[in-house]
A and B are shown apart, each in its own frame.
Chain A
Amino acid sequence: MHRLRSISHHSLTRPSGIFLIALAVLVAPRVYAVDPVPPEAPPSLELQPRSLVFGAPGSAFVTVYNRGAAPVTLNDARVVSLGQADFTAEPVRHRQLAPGASSTVKLTYQPGSRVRRQSFAAVELEYEGNSTAAAAPGKHIQTVALRGGEDLSLLTWLIFAPLLGIPMLFLWPRGRERQLRVVALLVSAVPVTLAARMVAMFDPLFKRADGNFGYQFVQHVAWIRAFNVEYHVGVDGLSVGLVALTALIGFIAVLASWSIPVERNLRGYFSLLLVLETGLLGVFVALDLFLFYVFWELVLVPMFFLIGLWGGPRKEYAAIKFFIYTLLGSVLILLAIIALYYASSPTILVDGTAAAHTLDIPKLVHLNDFSGHPALLGFRFVNLLWVLLFIGFAIKVPVVPLHTWLPDAHVEAPTAVSVILASVMLKMGTYGMLRIGWSILPEATRWAAPAVSALGAICIVYGAFCALAQTDLKRLVAYSSISHLGFCLLGMAALTPLGVNGAIFQMLSHGVVSGLLFLLVGVLYDRAKTRGLDEFGGVATVMPRYATVFALAFLASLGLPGLSGFIGELMALVGSFGRYRTAAAVSAFGLIIGAAYNLWAIRRIHLGPLPDRWKTVLTGRDLDGREWASLLPLVALTIGLGLYPAPIIDAASTSVAELLAMMGLPSLGLGGEL
């Protein structure tokens, strides 16, 4: 370790910092004018300006200049938009423009309803009489992009705030490494405040009919025209809770990283943690498949290094296994994304330019029907794509039998990384299933739902039995994650309002509870340097406060009514009972095994006699202030959500209702919710 310390103070830190600032400047999103519309060559008609932004309802003018040598006829000015009729253009009927003359077209922005949203549209100006030799005669079209409403770059700042903090870490003077933790904490507090603002401004009743296909805080610009890729971000009921959870867990993870020694390259550690947070936040808000995929893959490299450099004894094995296994899933998703792209129908980009295909998730969901696509390689197109997507997301969830990377990755990762992995990263899989698989391919989802519910039941029971068999506390919690996410699958497969809402609630609840669980394991490991369940006993006698929180967390994991775990599991079970009786019954049996391993863990750690070797190590070392600070928010959430789940469920229910409306399933006749 000494040898390492002496060569870690190398004088390339400052150039590294400058290099990283350059990197940060490049990585920071150039949201506007990233890929300008290629001008019609050569235009004799010039439009000023090419894009208009309306802050408030009102009018503005686009001036049309005739730069050519012959008169031009303006045939029509049409507003094209997908979703809302907030913009109108002054009627232009065959207006003549002499060479050198100019004319104006009035555009008005009048949002129809009181609903707060961002509006996007484009004006198509059709004209003929372009006299330049090289251009073909006939009708031509130029577009002007329009944007109205509040420009809340909230989501963009939310996603990239962690990245912008990284240069600060690298420019921090050498020798003051202890302060790096505080710097990282402050940087990770920014997404929390932005997420809180987002949650406060979120409208649970915002529907697709209200505009922007039902997404809020939308930002939408063209990014890479060559592939019809756009930077399109927004949240709806499915993702708002996950975004808030990610921001909170990112903050708590930095708190949990205090125990990492200063010599272990804190700059690198926190930088990777912040990049990871950016990737996770980006996944949940991305509404363009390319953008979604970029953020999806962005989390792989930081996780690889975080596990491999700061992890436990078998860290390299766990890191490379995680990397390759999840990359395999990701490339299958990539294949499906590209296939969807080429099967989609022509549409327009946000600024009006025509696009032969689209990667935009709302457009793929609402404006494309793939069920009639010709068969691919002998399989029904939608089914084949759905299976590819499902395998890719299932590796992330993880679904048995694709789960073998999880126990190793969880156990070998440092505490903070385990917390992020369990609380947020696993939800990427289930969220991806809902957002992409369920929404874009509803017919295939109906076809596969029985299999998914069976897989959910298997996950629940198998995960529970595996957890029961573990002797390492962290491994036990890892397998319990597999079991809990089985409830998500069960609820999602049920395709009933209660089921899917239960799945979303379970995602959030499990995020909170498993965060708690891994933090608690970390607390014990920091002191005892071991996690063997058989090595402990009677810890409650020397660490009573720790025992209280420990018991609360494991009871929440068990599904005790009054804590959040119960709500999610109950909703998923009841929601699926109508359709998949067997799966629901088997899963209910899994609850019993869940009770078994959770209670047994509490007993083995906290009850009974305390072995002598722990008497000196653990006495007087109950939870300290920092650990309380990291545990309390999650404890409060667990209890709060368990007693009052309504806000969360209300936030999601509109989006879930719209999702299920697309499924076209007959009602079960068991009452409104089921």
Chain B
Amino acid sequence: MLSNVLSNGASLRPFAPELVLGIGVLVVLLVGLVGKGGSRGLLLGLTVAILAGAAVATAVTRDEATRALFGGLLARDGFGDYFKFLFVAAAALVALASVSTDEIGAGPSDDRAVAEYAALLLAAALGAALMASATDLLTAYLSLEFISILSYVLAAFSPQRPRSAEAGLKYAIYGGVATGAMLYGFSLLYGLAASTELNAVRVALTAAPPLVAGTALALCLAGFGFKLAIVPFHMWCPDVYQGAPTPVAAFFSVVPKAAGFALAYRFLLGGAAPLVPALGPATGWAAVLAALAAATMTLGNLAALGQRNLKRLLAYSSIAHAGTMTMALALGTESGARALMLYAGIYLFMNLAAFLAVVAFIHRGVGETVDDLAGLGRRAPLPALCLTLALFSLAGLPPFGGFVAKFAIISATIERGATGGGLYFGLAALAVLNTVVALYYYARVAKVMYFDLPREGAGPVRLAPIHVGLLGATTLAVIALGIYVPPLSSLVAASAGGWAGR
């Protein structure tokens, strides 16, 4: 059923972005080993250059037609390309932010660790790119494990902070169980289909006994849910985000999540399509996904209300956003896919803007609790403004990008409700009510920054120039995306049509 299947040799050219990333990992490691190890700026600049190279490779090898690579293991299509651009952008922003941070490695002067960090970052981007292109159970599992193991190490990359090691361990244990369950689910699917290709799985599921199919899908959802940090597989998320170095937490909040959504979409619409009907009343698994989305949005927002630590607050906020994106997953329609892609793109910028502000503030010793931000509106006017705008965009207020993203997903949900019935209208209503709840904790951060007086002896805060530049750039992107949507929406429209394995 796959069209345009390429052999191993012919697959190398469409595989160029991943090759660039893979070779880049080795290059960065080598540069780190040679001589004195290279300075932090050099290594991270090299990382950004490699990521830019991967983006160029993606653009150059783009093609209208979708191609199946390596005999059907991976796909090269518009959908995957879009996500690759997102991963590259996110990794580049995180790498640039890591230039001025004390949280990576054993201390500010530990430049040797930066080479490993940069290599891990590149490898994680590679893993995410593979996840977004996987059309086979094997590659799906491999790429998910790949990025997961890298994430465990990245989370523990601040050895002098015990929280970091705890985060890495917690992540590893939780992830091990979750991916183990997913592997068992995959093995059941393999048993039904006698092949690991997602298309074969789809064919087999149409005739499978419901108990087996249901168990398999539930186990697979455990793995996906873990990566996406949706309820009830989200327990690791706040602790890991709080413990990991902040640039790494920023990376986690965007790249593995978006990769997880890409993979889940391929899996659910490609492999598991018979169980997630695109049209007609919502039955079975569409309802399960809808319930998971509803639970995730609600729990993420309600739990965030009580958080005092900024990183935990952003962790719960990203759980809530993952819930909204899962809502798009539950729709099973083309417009849902486009809305998801648009949301992922805008979410990248606004979430990274918020996290980058936290990176910058922690670097200058401001602290990581909400109360530590008191009076920042006067102490650091421009960064505080950027953080405020990013938070209001996360809340979904116009005229920022976050509103356009929310509008897209809620529109797709209501559109689906016309054919799917009351469940989707209820979801949409729940989503908008969650917006109101979420506003409280976002506005509370803004309130603390502007309304509260600074503590005794707290003077002006001058951020590192690179942090100011990054903050300004991401905030401008957030505002621009709210007003000038066409660049992103036309990219989405151009990419959403391509679906390998249809």
Residues of A within 8 A of B (CB): 3-4, 7-8, 10, 12-13, 15-16, 19, 22-23, 26-27, 30, 34-36, 38, 224-227, 265, 290, 293-294, 297-298, 300-301, 304-305, 308-309, 315-316, 319-320, 323-324, 327-328, 331-332, 334-335, 338-339, 341-342, 376-377
Contact = CB atoms under 8 A, between A and B. Distances in A.
Interface in B415-467: 415, 418, 422, 425, 428-429, 432-433, 435-436, 439-440, 443-444, 446-447, 450-451, 453-454, 459-460
Instruction: List the 3 closest pairs (A to B, CB-CB), nearest first.
Output: A331-B432, A226-B489, A294-B398
A377 B440 contact: no
B379 A324 contact: no
B450 A335 contact: no
B414 A7 contact: no
A19 B472 contact: yes
A4 B486 contact: no
Contacts, number: 134
Contacts of B485: 35, 224, 226
Nearest to B404: A224
A8 B378 CA distance: 6
A415 to B, nearest CB: 19
Given A10-B381, A10-B460, A224 B432 contact: no
Contacts of B415: 342
B436 A26 contact: no
Interface string B358-384: 000000000000000000001111100
Contact of A12 (B382, B404, B432): B382
Contacts of A300: 397
Contacts of A8: 378
Contacts of B444: 320
Contacts of A320: 440, 443-444, 447
A23 B476 contact: yes
A652 to B, nearest CB: 29
A301 B397 contact: yes
Chain B residues touching A, range: 35 or more
A282 to B, nearest CB: 10
A227 B407 CA distance: 9
B440 A7 contact: no
A338 B428 contact: yes
B378 A7 contact: yes
Nearest to B380: A12
B389 to A, nearest CB: 9
Contacts of A294: 398-399, 403
Contacts of A334: 407, 410, 432
A410 to B, nearest CB: 19
B436 A38 contact: no
Contact of A35 (B432, B451, B486, B492): B486
A335 B450 CA distance: 32
A38 B491 CA distance: 12
A224 B398 CA distance: 14
19 contacts: A7-B454, A10-B460, A12-B381, A16-B385, A22-B476, A26-B484, A35-B485, A35-B486, A38-B490, A225-B489, A298-B398, A304-B446, A308-B447, A320-B440, A324-B440, A327-B439, A331-B432, A335-B410, A376-B425
Nearest to B452: A316
B443 A304 contact: yes
A314 B100 CA distance: 40
B450 A308 contact: yes
Given A298-B399, A341-B411, A309 B379 contact: no
A225 B338 CA distance: 14
B344 interface: no
B382 A339 contact: no
A38 B399 CA distance: 25
A331 B338 CA distance: 22
Interface string B464-493: 000010001000100110011110011011
Nearest to B399: A294
A565 to B, nearest CB: 35
B476 A26 contact: yes
Contacts of A7: 378-379, 454, 459-460
B408 interface: yes
A21 to B, nearest CB: 11
B117 interface: no
Contacts of A15: 382, 468
A417 to B, nearest CB: 15
B316 interface: no
B439 A27 contact: no
A185 to B, nearest CB: 24
Nearest to A28: B483
B251 interface: no
A301 B392 contact: yes
A373 to B, nearest CB: 10
Nearest to B471: A19
A297 B397 contact: yes
Contacts of B447: 308, 316, 319-320
Contacts of A341: 411
A323 B460 contact: no
A304 B436 CA distance: 14
B443 A227 contact: no
Nearest to B422: A377
B398 A338 contact: no
A271 to B, nearest CB: 11
A192 to B, nearest CB: 24
Nearest to A29: B483
Contacts of B484: 26, 30, 34
B295 to A, nearest CB: 20
A300 B453 CA distance: 23
B41 to A, nearest CB: 22
A573 B490 CA distance: 53
Contacts of A315: 451
